[in-house]
A and B are shown apart, each in its own frame.
Chain A
Amino acid sequence: MGPGREIEIYPASRLEGHAKISIFLDEEGGVRDAFFQILELRGFEEFCKGRLVEEMPRITPRICGVCPWAHHLASAKAADAVYGVEPTETAEKVREMGYSAFFVHDHLLHFYLLALPDFVPGPSAPPAERNVVGLLNKVGQELGGRLLRAFGYAHEIQEIVGGRSTHPVFCLPGGISRPITEEERARIEGMAKYLLEFSESTLGLFKKTVLKDEKYSKMILEDKNVNRVNSLAMVGEGDSLSLLRGKLKAVDPDGRAIDIFEPKDYLDHISEHVEPWTYSKFTFLKPLGWRGLVDGEGSGIYRVGPLARFNVIDRIPTPRAQGAFEEMFEVLEKPCHSTFAYHWARVIETLYAAERFMELVEDPSITNGDIRNIPAGPRGRGVGVVEAPRGVLIHDYTSDGEGRIRELNLIVPTTHNNSVICMSVRNAARSLIRAGSVEEGLLNEVEMAFRAYDPCLACATHTAPGQLPLKIEIFDSRGSLLKEISRP
């Protein structure tokens, strides 16, 4: 135990394994520092060495069962590049179609199961209500039924396209494993229509329950928990929103473009810092350098994910989502740094993915038999980058002559966001702990702050009676327990 007093919130949330928040107080009982610790490591960078490049799209989704499709696609792109092969046009479309369905699914899961319960039953509602059951009671059985239907459909579509919905299997270097039949396409189309409508009504629900509610809209507009950092995202043509193809672009806290590069050159632009108290690393923009967990001018720290994407892009290539995008930035400043605006961006992106999905399923070439270009031998290194629901995801493979992985590097969204999550947690602690006394809302504030970033794996939270687990223990300077706070 260090000097001063320590508060432990354990475990904070699910995130690549367990996580924990440690808060250290000074002699006056104010917060001296707070740390968000990731407590588990599985080590894919080591044990994927020696594996076959073409198997990587099936192995790496096991990094995260919440966003397996993002790993599948990033890995497939890296494998394409290792083999120097472009997927056929049809394969590209089928990949994107499956990915769009996944994106809708993942964003909906997050919004309804994780974010909304904070707003609808309200953070001060009894714990038994602050979960999906409580939510369903509040919003009504009708919406609940439609929600479960949407999840069911999204699951089915991913299974049709990907073979399995969690841990899909269909991508191979140069394309996909089999064509979509007309029968399947028609089945998917029916479900796509439903998902599009549902996404649209979700945006409506968000506006009605959150934006129209004075208290919550204030949270978005006057967020105390603001960190002014850079944003990094992939951009398509004309700086448009793009999930699978494009360049990486960074903007500073004022929205000025400060870097733009080809994904394969990421090593010249991004670097990772190591701290001994957490298994997760901290990325930063290389030209700016690492200056510690500080924001503002000159800091290399950046955020990724829905809000970062919105800060970086100029437009969304589908009409309805574009309308909503314009509407959002009529209300908010661009770039926006309020973590709660992540939720808004997320529901708009859901609509984009659903629209894109609809376009692709109606594309007559989606059922073509031209599904794969067969590559010659491996050529060396390949980088695959995609926008995962939670932000930029990088897979970088170097192969030997037999197509076995010799070297690999993986940077997941939570690593990009690690710094800003840590700072958010510290902000929340500082604003709510004074003179050794902890204000009521601390747990919620902390939870809500990092839930906006949605540390991977937290998606399943609130699916059953219960809530995000948090506990605070307060120790005196000699390390004995003074007080313990946990939820009733």
Chain B
Amino acid sequence: MGRNRLNLAIGLGATCSGCDITIVDLAEYLPKVLSSVNIAFWPTAADLKLKDLEAMANGSIDLCLYHGAIVNEENAEMARLLRRKSKLMVAFGSCACFGGVPGLANLATKDSLLETVYGTPSTDNPKGLKPQGEALVGEYRMAVPKRLDAVLPLSGVVEVDYSIPGCPPQTSQVKDAFEAILSSDLPPRGSVIGPAKNLCDECPRKREGKSISKIVRAHETIADQERCLLDQGILCMGPATRAGCDAKCIKANMRCEGCMGPPDGVGDQGAKMLGAIASILGLEGEDKMSEEDVARLMDGIVDPVGLFYLFSLPSSILRRRLWEV
């Protein structure tokens, strides 16, 4: 650990704050981190002085961890400002890395989203108001930031030096990442700080990886705790997901939902999973299957987008829904 304290900034966009909590959850390790950094900027915890931040010299922040997705112009502006001020810009958590769960908003249009939120059955909204941009309230002019047309990952607006994925990143990952950063023991720029391989690689379960004859939904069975979930027909995202979380959900006997995003060499997590599942689903007796049989089998996957792209839609190849059909 260097003698000079690192100038640390923690920036945020559209976030659930779970990523902040992960840093707090470092618990006993926290003082060690705090003693080796100087917090230059952390809106959740430290005094936010946007002016001060603007006044800082470019590059004067050594490390910026940015969490949350980019959903409005203000998020984008904050990201750009922090990028100018920071030597290292790190996308922290899956929202910043890939768009995350709020990135599912790319399945809707901005209008339909506002329409739905301000038109729920409990909403009494006779005038059909939809907060967006400026509003004149009596004689006061007030504004809420406008949403962008599509949710973006951090890399959609600025150059990102490193990524620490996870929703949220696990404390062990954060510790390792801090160690790596504090000791300047870093992989090449642009990489993900974490293992390169997929989750199956660190999964403790027995995997045969042969054929599955049908999809089993999580609530339809009590999964065997020893055998690979995918082998049991449960759509575990392990094959298309980066290792590094210590197989947390698997140990809780639940399918991996893919929060770590794709492993090295995989651009599109959903497409990867789609390929993986198609290789084993209906493998046995494949030559005897009719087209209808195959179609029916695949219909067992009821929500492919929600299952395969829960965290990565904005950084997938297609990025969002279109409206042809």
Contacts and interface: CB of A to CB of B under 8 A. Distances in A.
B201 interface: no
B100 interface: yes
Given A277-B140, A409-B121, A469-B46, 12 more contacts: A2-B139, A37-B142, A43-B113, A47-B105, A61-B16, A64-B17, A79-B219, A163-B251, A274-B130, A277-B142, A457-B16, A459-B21
A196 B43 CA distance: 33
A92 to B, nearest CB: 16
A39 interface: yes
Interface stretch (B220-228, B273-281, B285-293): B220-228
Nearest to B128: A274
A271 B104 CA distance: 27
A62 B43 contact: no
B44 to A, nearest CB: 5
A38 B112 CA distance: 20
Contacts of B123: 271-272, 274, 281
Interface stretch (A165-173, A201-209, A224-232, A242-250): A165-173
A167 B18 contact: yes
Which among A272, A278, A463 has the highest number of chain B CB atoms within 10 Å?
Answer: A463
User: Nearest 3 pairs between A and B by C-beta?
Assistant: A65-B18, A466-B46, A163-B252
Contacts of A486: 49, 51
Interface of B: 14-25, 27-28, 30, 34, 39, 42-51, 71-72, 74, 100-102, 104-105, 107-108, 112-114, 116-118, 120-125, 129-131, 135, 137-145, 147, 167-168, 170, 217-223, 225, 248-249, 251-254, 257, 302-303, 305-307, 310
Contacts of B143: 277
A486 B114 CA distance: 35
Nearest to A408: B120
Given A52-B307, A151-B27, A14 B43 contact: yes
Contacts of B167: 62, 167
Given A50-B306, A155-B25, A466 B39 contact: yes
Q: How large is the interface on A (under 10, 10 to 19, 20 to 34, 35 or more residues)?
A: 35 or more
Given A2-B139, A41-B117, A276-B129, A83 B254 contact: no
Contact of A18 (B34, B39, B74, B147): B74
Contacts of A148: 27-28, 30
Contacts of B249: 163-164, 169
A460 B24 contact: yes
Contact of B46 (A18, A177, A272, A464): A464
B39 A272 contact: no
Given A62-B18, A464-B46, A276 B135 contact: yes
A273 interface: yes
Contacts of A374: 219-222
A215 interface: no
B218 A172 contact: yes
Contacts of A163: 248-249, 251-252, 254
Contact of B45 (A33, A279, A372, A462): A462
Contacts of B170: 164
Interface string A455-488: 0011111111111110100000000000000110
Nearest to B256: A169
Given A2-B141, A465-B46, A460 B20 contact: yes
Given A64-B16, A172-B218, A466-B45, A42 B105 contact: yes
Nearest to B249: A169
Nearest to A153: B27
A37 B175 CA distance: 36
A404 B302 contact: yes
Contacts of B220: 374
Given A2-B139, A46-B113, A131 B107 contact: no
B235 to A, nearest CB: 10
Task: Summarize B's interface: helix, strand, loop or mixed.
Answer: mixed
Contacts of B47: 127, 466-469, 487
B46 A155 contact: no
A66 interface: yes
Contact of B21 (A46, A55, A375, A460): A460
B307 A290 contact: no
A310 interface: no
Contact of B145 (A33, A39, A131): A39
Nearest to A409: B120
A24 B140 contact: yes
B93 to A, nearest CB: 9
Contact of A461 (B28, B45, B125): B45
Contacts, number: 286
A104 interface: no
Contacts of A149: 28
Nearest to A6: B140
A380 to B, nearest CB: 14
A267 interface: yes
Contacts of B48: 11, 469, 471
Contacts of A468: 47
Interface string A147-158: 011011001000
Contacts of B251: 163
A409 B122 contact: yes
A54 B24 contact: no
Which among B72, B101, B113 has the highest number of chain A CB atoms within 10 Å?
Answer: B101
A306 interface: no
B141 A40 contact: no
Contacts of A272: 120, 122-125
B316 to A, nearest CB: 15
Nearest to B313: A47
A432 to B, nearest CB: 20
Nearest to A173: B219
B318 to A, nearest CB: 16
Interface in A427-469: 457-469
Interface string A272-310: 111111110101000000100000000000000000000
28 contacts: A2-B139, A40-B14, A41-B117, A42-B14, A43-B102, A43-B108, A51-B306, A58-B254, A62-B167, A65-B17, A79-B219, A151-B25, A163-B248, A163-B254, A166-B18, A166-B21, A275-B129, A277-B131, A374-B221, A403-B302, A409-B120, A457-B17, A460-B24, A462-B45, A465-B34, A466-B45, A469-B43, A471-B49
Nearest to B103: A47
B219 A371 contact: no
A35 interface: yes
A54 B16 contact: no
Contacts of B72: 40
B252 to A, nearest CB: 3
Given A164-B249, A272-B120, A273-B124, A62 B100 contact: yes
